[in-house]
Amino acid sequence: MHQHAFEQTQANAFAWHERMRRLDQVIRQQCNFALETKLGGESMAAKIAEACESDDVVMWCCGLADIQLHLDRVGARVVIWGARHP
């Protein structure tokens, strides 16, 4: 494993690209792969749809009981991390 000195934004981008690279690899090789995602954008949903074309895909979805709990959770993250997610 390589060690890099990244700022938070760079580290997040690096991790995103690495996860997508690994997902592409397991789709090609038809291997098992587990990941966690909030499905916040279109890229991950598109990759999952692509995987469904050639493989069986199992998804577990979970959420909080109501929208206020989600807003409170995001607000707590803002306090800790100092930035909102889009």
Q: What is the DSSP letter of 66?
A: S
Q: How high is the pLDDT of residue 61?
A: 80
Please name the residues in contact with 2: beta carbons below 8 A apart, sequence gap of 6 or more.
none
Q: Does the pLDDT value for residue 76 go beyond 60?
A: yes
CA distance 6 to 14: 9
Predicted confidence (pLDDT) at residue 85 exceeds the cutoff of 60: no
Q: Which two tokens stand for residue 10?
A: 């760079």
Could you report the per-residue pLDDT of 6-57, keeping only the tens digit for each? 788 888 889 889 989 998 998 888 888 888 887 777 888 888 888 888 878 8
- What pLDDT score does 17 carry? 92
Instruction: Report the distance separating Cα 49 and Cα 57, nearest Å.
Output: 9
> Domain ranges in the chain?
8-81
Alpha carbons 57 and 55: distance in angstroms, whole number: 6
